[in-house]
Amino acid sequence: MKLAGIWADYVPSLLAGMATNFEISIIALLLGLLVGIPFAALRFYGGRASVALAAIVVSLMRAAPTFVVMFFLLNVVRDVSLFGMKLTMSGVMTVAVSLVPYSAAYTADAGVDALRQWDRGSPLGALLFLPNITRAFFVIVMASGAAAAIGVPEGISVILRESALLPTLGDRLVVFAVGIVLFGVPLQIGLALMRWLQRELGRRLVGA
Amino acid sequence: MSLRIPCRLLLAFAALLATFAAARAATPDEALAALLTEARQHCDQPTDRLERILCGKPLRIGVRDYYPLFGTRENGTHVGYEPDIARAIARRLGVEIEFVRVNAATRIPMLGEDRIDLVLATMGHTTQRDGQLRFIRPHYYQSETVVVGPRALRIGDWNDVATRTICVTVGNVSNAQMVSHNARLMLFDEAGVLPDRLKDETCTLAAQDDSFFAYYFTDPSFASRFEQKFGFAQVPWGMGVARTGSDKLARALDLLSQIFHRDGTFLEIAVRNRIRTVFLEDQQRIWQRPECNTTEGSTNRNCILPALNLELAPTPFAAWVTAAEDWSERRLGIDITLPMLKTAPAFSLFLNGVVNTLILIAGALAATFAFAIVFGFSLGSDFRPVRWLAWLVTMTLQSSPIVLTLVIAAAFAHALLPYSTGVALGASILALGLTNGGNAGQAVSEAVISLHHEGGEKGMALFVHALGRSAISIVAFLINAAKGTPAASFIGAPELLGALTDVSSFSSGRATTYCLVLVFYTIVVMIVVWACGWLRTWLEGRQVSA
């Protein structure tokens, strides 16, 4: 396999595909925040029954495998009604929504912790919610590769498409390696950013 | 009054002569001529559709109006292989023609409701349909399912498609055959999207009727990029008439079809419409053979093709399942369909899926725990090369989305071993174990380092203590491994999600099927969460005792 071919065609396609992964992840995270924060509030401020109910729902969301939820949405709840309008979920939206149970459960857990910190008079402790959500975002980016299974043209689809045309394992490994590097760089930068945020907040917490 | 009796006698004598001539006819042409003559005698009281048509009524033919090359409508005119056959039939019978638009859902009911006399609308001849209408023999065309893919991709036969994803339409009867050859299926509702998904490279391979792809291969840009790799699941196409009141019409069409094959009429029409002619060329050779070119050729098993039998063997309890579905709908108002319990192949896929899922989850949990210990030990090692190597592997695994890690594991596995269920499960367990074990191992190593800084313990005692300290992370990644198992279906591991996707590709009841899969996996993961709670307590107990 010629490296020139990789740089000329494959890498730009992969970067374009990865943009879809980030698009999916941003939607999933925003929807997760929208669903998860009320559950966090319910678990923290609610009465015994509402706390129990919220805990059950969050446990179910935590247990639902993204891959299965994605196929469930694709085959069972493809068309949704919103204010009387029938909307058909696109592939990107289907994957994003399938990641919402994870994202919402994570937000609810991190949110409860943040509220506890806030209640204990530690706003900086509560701010640890931000690096936690950053971590969730990168987990979602990696999980969004599941979209390849339903034909959404994202990063993993590009890697698979390119590798399918190559005859030898060696050539395929080059394609896979480029994929890992391109997915890995933003992930590692993001995780480093998260660790820096945590360190900064921790330092200020100690200082406070 | 005196003249009417001789006239009637004359007509009866003519009919008798025609019947006698038909019985004596040696060739299909003579038999057809005699049959038409006889039918024309019954214009005063027609009892068969052939008599009605020959006595002035138009021949109402149900045709498709959006099936490129076979039946479309352009500026109000029906064009394509089938309308041209319809015109050839009408010409030969000397009757008027009336085209009626039908589709796959309406073509048989319209025949039963006497809104059309003949269906000529891309209809495959199956044993199930034999009970609904009378098929004309010989068949006028034969389609097959073809696998289409990029020219650059080397695909020769079934051996080359194992573990590859093929884009198909839901309900296509040939899907079961692809599943049995270990192909992964990506399902679409409409065939019309398949060429576009090939062009935008969402699908590397697509399988559909060759008559469907025939049109797209007339487009030079499509033909330059894609080709038919191989075909399978041949289905003969038949014209159909109503089972009652059409005996003579059916007989006339049987004879006409024989003649059209023998004389190359079908072939000439096919060439004119640019469709594949391999089948028609074969048929012409068959119907020119003396043993087939007879008045009884259309019933001679050596000349005609059998109907395709698509019926899947039912399970011993299929009737109970159907009764339960009916009861649920009647009493509870819940419409459930359980295709995985009704046919033997589907039930076998379902059972294997459940067993494989449990094996996969158990394997993924064991591998995650084992790799957590290995990576934890290596990352916390005092020996730098081991630590750096472990760090490099962990970073690589963290940077690879789980789906990609699964694909890489499968690529290695298939390079070393031929595809089998065991290989696919093994590769999946390895990938899930490495990814989650790597992350959990990192947590263990961080615990090892923190315990190092605190001083005191060393060696195995310190490591056991570190396992206890990182119990929360280990448990979190064990749960993650269990949750990740459905992704193994992506590389062809026949776990429940993959198995039921295969079942739903050739049967109905997708909604119930995927609801069941979701409930099954959620319950299994919750059991894993509960079991991991015990493990966490045990590990934390080791921390205290250490």
For B399, the closest chain A residue by CA position comes to A184
**What's the rounded Cα separation, in Å, for the pair B353 and B179?**
13
Cβ distance of A180 and B399 shorter than 8 Å: yes
Closest to B487 (Cβ–Cβ): which among A67, A161, A169? A67
Closest to A76 (Cβ–Cβ): which among B150, B167, B515? B515
Is the pLDDT at A84 greater than 80? The verdict is no
Within a domain: B321? no
Within a domain: B328? no
Examine the domain organization and report whether B36 and B163 are in the same domain.
no
Examine the domain organization and report whether B425 and B515 are in the same domain.
yes
CATH assignment of the domain containing B130:
3.40.190.10
**What's the rounded Cα separation, in Å, for the pair B97 and B90?**
6
Whether A22 contacts chain B with CB within 8 A: no
- Residues A37-49: what's their mean pLDDT? 92
Residues of chain A with C-beta less than 8 angstroms from the C-beta of B164 = 164
Q: Which has the closest alpha carbon to A143: A59, A21, A27, A20? A: A21
For B512, the closest chain A residue by CA position comes to A76
**What's the rounded Cα separation, in Å, for the pair B240 and B137?**
9
Examine the domain organization and report whether B288 and B176 are in the same domain.
no
The reported pLDDT for the residue numbered B190 is: 77
Per-residue pLDDT of chain B (546 residues; tens, 9 = 90+): 445 556 566 656 555 555 555 555 679 999 999 999 999 998 888 999 999 999 989 999 999 988 889 999 999 999 999 999 999 999 999 999 999 999 888 889 999 899 999 999 999 998 888 989 999 999 999 999 999 999 988 888 888 887 788 998 877 778 888 888 888 888 887 788 899 989 988 888 999 988 889 889 989 999 999 999 999 888 999 999 999 999 999 999 999 999 999 999 999 999 999 898 999 999 999 999 999 999 999 999 999 999 988 778 899 999 999 999 999 989 988 888 898 999 998 999 999 999 999 999 999 999 999 999 999 989 888 888 999 999 999 999 989 999 999 999 998 998 888 878 899 999 999 999 999 999 889 888 888 887 777 776 677 778 888 888 888 888 889 999 999 999 998 888 889 998 998 888 877 778 888 999 999 999 999 999 999 888 888 877 766 554
Residues of chain A with C-beta less than 8 angstroms from the C-beta of B515 = 72, 76
Chain A, chain B: beta-carbon pairs less than 8 Å apart:
138
Q: How far is A191 from chain B (nearest CA, A)?
A: 11
Whether A183 contacts chain B with CB within 8 A: yes
Examine the domain organization and report whether B99 and B175 are in the same domain.
no
Whether B510 contacts chain A with CB within 8 A: yes
Q: Which has the closest alpha carbon to B68: B220, B279, B172, B211? A: B211
**What's the rounded Cα separation, in Å, for the pair B397 and B391?**
10
Whether A161 contacts chain B with CB within 8 A: yes
Examine the domain organization and report whether B150 and B123 are in the same domain.
no
Examine the domain organization and report whether B119 and B181 are in the same domain.
no
Q: How far is A187 from chain B (nearest CA, A)?
A: 7
Last residue of a domain, one of B236, B257, B272: B236
Whether B229 contacts chain A with CB within 8 A: no
Whether A90 contacts chain B with CB within 8 A: no
Cβ distance of A71 and B521 shorter than 8 Å: no
Examine the domain organization and report whether B122 and B154 are in the same domain.
no
Within a domain: B489? yes
Closest to B411 (Cβ–Cβ): which among A152, A172, A179? A172
The reported pLDDT for the residue numbered B20 is: 54
Element spanning A123, H or E: helix A123-126
Examine the domain organization and report whether B210 and B261 are in the same domain.
no
The reported pLDDT for the residue numbered B6 is: 61
Cβ distance of B403 and A72 shorter than 8 Å: no
Q: Predicted confidence band at A4 (pLDDT cuts at 50, 70, 90)? A: low
Cβ distance of A184 and B403 shorter than 8 Å: no
Is the pLDDT at A22 greater than 90? The verdict is yes
The reported pLDDT for the residue numbered B1 is: 45
Closest to A64 (Cβ–Cβ): which among B404, B501, B522? B522
Last residue of a domain, one of B299, B319, B348: B299
Residues of chain B with C-beta less than 8 angstroms from the C-beta of A178 = none
Within a domain: B322? no
Within a domain: B45? yes
Whether A146 contacts chain B with CB within 8 A: yes
Query: Can you list the alpha helix ranges (DSSP code H) found in B146-192?
Result: 175-180
Q: Which has the closest alpha carbon to B531: B376, B360, B366? A: B366
The reported pLDDT for the residue numbered B187 is: 82
Residues of chain A with C-beta less than 8 angstroms from the C-beta of B511 = 75-76
For CA atoms B510, B516, B517, B522, the dihedral sign is: positive
Residues of chain B with C-beta less than 8 angstroms from the C-beta of A67 = 484, 486-487, 489-490, 497
The reported pLDDT for the residue numbered B524 is: 93
The reported pLDDT for the residue numbered A208 is: 60
Cβ distance of B489 and A160 shorter than 8 Å: no
Examine the domain organization and report whether B31 and B120 are in the same domain.
yes
- Residues A163-170: what's their mean pLDDT? 82
Residues, chain A: 208
The strand pair at B66-67 and B71-74 is best described as antiparallel
Cβ distance of B399 and A149 shorter than 8 Å: no
CATH assignment of the domain containing B379:
1.10.3720.10
Rounded to the nearest 5°, which phi and psi values hold at A94? -60, -45
Mean pLDDT of chain A: 86
**What's the rounded Cα separation, in Å, for the pair B48 and A198?**
88
The two tokens of residue A123 are: 């706003």
Examine the domain organization and report whether B109 and B167 are in the same domain.
no
Cβ distance of A164 and B486 shorter than 8 Å: no
Element spanning B230, H or E: strand B226-237
Within a domain: B461? yes
Eight-class DSSP state of B237: E
Whether A79 contacts chain B with CB within 8 A: no
B300 in helix, strand or coil?
Answer: coil
For A56, the closest chain B residue by CA position comes to B526
Within a domain: B324? no
Residues of chain A with C-beta less than 8 angstroms from the C-beta of B501 = 71
Within a domain: B95? yes
For B404, the closest chain A residue by CA position comes to A156
Q: How far is B34 from chain A (nearest CA, A)?
A: 57
Q: Best mutation site among B184, B227, B408, B491 for testing chain A: the one with the most A CBs within 10 Å? A: B408
Q: Burial, B168: exposed, middle or buried (Cβ in 10 Å; 0-12, 13-18, 19+)?
A: buried
What are the tens digits of pLDDT across the range B141-173?
Answer: 999 999 999 998 888 888 888 778 899 887 777
What are the tens digits of pLDDT across the range A103-126?
Answer: 999 999 889 988 988 888 877 778
Cβ distance of B402 and A143 shorter than 8 Å: yes
For B523, the closest chain A residue by CA position comes to A63
What are the tens digits of pLDDT across the range B330-354?
Answer: 998 888 889 899 999 899 999 999 9
Whether B386 contacts chain A with CB within 8 A: no
Whether A184 contacts chain B with CB within 8 A: yes
Q: Which has the closest alpha carbon to A124: A190, A194, A200? A: A200
Examine the domain organization and report whether B160 and B220 are in the same domain.
yes
Domain count, chain B: 3
The CATH number that domain A3-207 falls under is: 1.10.3720.10
Examine the domain organization and report whether B129 and B262 are in the same domain.
yes
Pick A168 or B12 by higher pLDDT: A168
Q: Burial, B199: exposed, middle or buried (Cβ in 10 Å; 0-12, 13-18, 19+)?
A: middle
Last residue of a domain, one of B211, B236, B261: B236
Is the pLDDT at A82 greater than 70? The verdict is no
For B193, the closest chain A residue by CA position comes to A151
Whether B393 contacts chain A with CB within 8 A: no
Which of B:69-108 have CB within 8 Å of A? none
Range of the domain at B192: 141-236
**What's the rounded Cα separation, in Å, for the pair A87 and B19?**
64
